[in-house]
Chain A
Amino acid sequence: MTNHWVDIKNANLIVVMGGNAAEAHPVGFRWAIDAKINNKAKILVVDPRFTRSAAVADEHVRLRPGTDITFLNGVLNYLISNDKYQQEYVREYTNASFLVRDDFDFNDGLFSGWDESKKQYDKSSWNYQFDEDGYARRDPTLMHPRCVWNLLKKHVSRYTPEMVEQICGTPQADFLKACEMFAETAAPDKTMTSLYALGWTEHTVGAQNIRTMAIIQLILGNIGMPGGGINALRGHSNVQGLTDIGVMATALPGYLGLPNERHVDLQTYLNMSTPKMTGRGQVNYWGNYPKFFISLLKSFYGDKATPENEFGYHWLPKFQQMVDAMRFIEMTENGEINGFLVQGYNVVACMPNKHKSIRALSKLKFLVVIDPVASETANFWQNHDEFNDVKPEEIQTEVFNLPSSLFAEEDGSITNSGRWVQWHWEGAPPPGEGKTDSAIIAEIMMKIRELYEKEGGRLPEQILNMAWDYSKKKHPSSEEIIKEVNGKALADLYDGNGTLILKKGQQVSSFAQLRADGSTACGCWIYAGCWTEAGNQMARRDTADPSGLGNMPGWAWAWPVNRRILYNRASMDRNGKPWDPKRQLLHWDGAKWTGYDVPDFTAAPPGSEVNPFIMQQEGVGRLFALDKMAEGPFSEHYEPMESPIGTNPLHPNVVTSPTVRLFQRDAAELGNTEKFPYVGTTYRLTEHFHTLTKASELNAMTQPEAFAEISETLAAKLAIKSGDMIKVTSARGFVKVKAVVTKRVKQLMVNGQPTEVVGLPIHWGFKGATRKGFLTNVLTPSIGDSNTQTPEFKAFLVNVERVS
């Protein structure tokens, strides 16, 4: 979240799209209700289904799964053509005025630079025009035909209300009602918050879904504002922390990149990773990249990391290809992987195309599952009739199931969606042989190190040189780990005036203290400040709210540097006048910016040319994404890989995303409308958390058995009654579930054809306290988003029939 949970109460409009906040985030949703009651806010839900969020919304607008970009580009078109945007914000704080290279173009579904033979883009034209000093050219009048604003205007002009209706199936009247609600927040003193989750990310165009809303929020002037922002509601209680700490295939902690094969040495890596300033006099905070990275290497390797050995840079793996979870399963199925260590992850239930996952796991020599409950993954080899139709005698994988603790059985920090890092304390020790995850991992690590010491092996330095300065080597405490993450001075540190700021061994209080010379260590630069010399900041519990805006700066600690609202300098105009006096966060006190939040800015005085988005090279929010996205610098509608209309009304020659992640074997398992005429979509219910809580009796009581939701029209057509058992089939397999016939799912008219949506919650399986059921991911296709490789769980094709 750019903002945070409590801040939702400041919104005038809450758009729930690409998520179902009331259903999946019922506790945080209290702030949406608070906005409704105390701020007269309206709630708009845009969703294929009438959800629990819709039940308390002012408006619900339907669309077909997988068409969010069309809808949102349609909103952009409406806002721009009706002059419903915040003009000063757009001119000053976005790249609207920046001139784009003359060779950038978009034609018939493809951006410039497409290489059909390689099936990839040369992104060099996706850039600004630069002057002789290397700064981007601008036209503040927004008149220049090559300025971003005019290119954007042209790009979205194709998304008329008629086109939205044709692609999304949203009646024009409903769409225009939604547009009017968006448009009201173009006023400087009105804000809209966007609450989204996996309903946007789990698409082949997931990242672009979110980007389209980001463009809307920028032109409405809602970024940096209390009650505004782009707010990802994270699904697991600490998945934000997991993302921050970089547990991704190509990430290092704090959104630093894992080196790849082109980064032959430290200097090359740093040169390629550190962005250059492209706007005169701007901050370009990522210019500090080397400080964060070298402090990370010092945290990894301690005294072993020296300037002479490039701080141990060469011990880091250099990737040749992205080995994300989807590729990992693919490689496992290809027999390229022998062992799999699964921690807190129910692979068989959570990866798409369950049969593929089973085939892959069956090829492993060993599988280690670290989990607090008996999961389908640890038991993938068991036969459970139709629910898991495998032959145990043919599976040779050796499975180790290591019981771990649940969150309430350990001390530690949990980072919530709003970046608040909150400390929590053990309520009870784990039962039986259960151990904390860190104890399990540490014990494995110590054993591996022992084997390397005794027997040697390939690349022993990675293991042998790793700093492991915990008091109990096999059981590092959460305190020790988070203090290491925070970082410390490895020598006395002096500022530019020669004043001592930190003594050797002291905890750093901000990433501003980090150095690129090896005199500081920091495990995740954005967490610097969470455990300082003043102690554990995450354990703070002061609910004082001096601004009344819900920032509560004394409650726990938020990254970065306890800042509650990102880009908060953009809540004021260039001269420091707040867009809305009722939402003033900061003011200039004559020497610096100060107020109710930690300024996301430098000490540049009011009226300076320094732009508010200091993490960007040019200091402004990007309507045009340069080369940062795989599909293009603007967002474009591409059909889901399994499309119910089989064409793209915008450009029939390019129907689906040209850059989508799809392996050959998986392409052969895609279906079409002849056999699978209905649109399937998967989702979560409030009664359960993924596949974990089916192990809990109380959750099982409230939603005991798998079901699918279908419309009254589809039910009538197939002679299905509520409560009947139905079989839902895709090109990958079938599930049998109970039918819930509901008015909340409706037939849509898409491209002139009636289109039915089949809703499939995901919570049941062959283990647990619920009724035994099929894993819903039997049905879903193994396709990934081009940027994030997140699987497509939200739009695919199925057939439905009644079974007796």
Chain B
Amino acid sequence: MLRHVAAFTAALLLASSLQAADRIKVGLLSTLSGAGAGLGVDIRDGFNLAVKQLNGQLGGLPAEVIIADDQQSPDVARQMADKFLKKDKVDFMTGIVFSNIMLAVGPTVFENQTFYISANAGPSQYAGEQCNPYFFNVAWQNDNLHEAVGKYVQDKGFRKLVIVTPNYPGGKDAVAGFRRYYKGMVAEEIYTRLGQLDYAAELAQVRAIKPDALFFFLPGGMGINFVKQFVATGLSRDTQLFAPGFSADEDVIKAVGPAMMGMFNSSHWAHDMDNPENRRFVADFQKEYGRLPSLYASQGYDAARLMDAAVRDVQGKVEDKAALRKALEAKRFKSVRGEFRFNSNHYPIQNYYLRVIGKDASGRVTNKSMGTIFTNHSDAYVGQCRMK
């Protein structure tokens, strides 16, 4: 389609070429249309909420957040990033949902010496050999949530398992992460087409195998359809469903409904976590947008708060890259997930929790925290990182 360019704010009209030291410009590039739109919208809303709570400022300077849609396409993302870096001359970039897009955009951002604060995508490349001083991740390394599920499935003694994931690098990483901790039998690894919406053929295969557990990683709309169709086949009676938190968060629950009850998933955050920052975030998010926040929203929120703390630390002198980097590494804000700090590869060291979908006190179907799977967990790639 004619989707080369899709800019979202009139601010793009201002072809300002002057570096404004009196405000902080953030380029938020995210997936805001198509099947993955729900994820990007939550990141954006979480980020905007944080800026709003800070009275439209980041680190005491007026914030200008320029938003663009990458349409989940690496080419479009490259173009929009180019615009941010060369036309708008932003101070920070953030927002990308998908790792393949991150990898396409990363090189130009780093070459331009602009700090990228990832609110979702955590590719293994940037955690390991290609780690970069300009890349920070406030969410997780891609494998982490899969590792956590793998650990839990292993500990619970499930022994006959089917894995379903799309046939693309992210899917293969998920399987690798899961199997790093799950040592039981995998009866079948089913790879589907990326963007596939009908899983009838795959579910028939699953029925023939009769596994006691099924682990799937199908981000966005794919997961919604899969769970719906899984329930419709009646497989849920014999097979326990497991997924990383992204496939069992508020967006999916809203779409599928009570059929998801009893599904286990892993996350580094949950909306019922009891700390003052999180209580305020969840309450304000619901007031502002009329829905429960997802983990994506919490990550967008934390990205903004990390920028805020760092800019305040360097007293607005964002041109001093070395000082800004130090300030980012120091992470002087309280995250809604509780404790976390940056590892030497700029990825988090943090806890991962088990969640289960059920009804809360008010009868709403949502996630409940069930306990800790990993404590102070880092990633498998940090050893390969030689941070300059």
**Does A associate with B in a complex?**
no
- Give residues in A with beta carbon < 8 Å to B: none
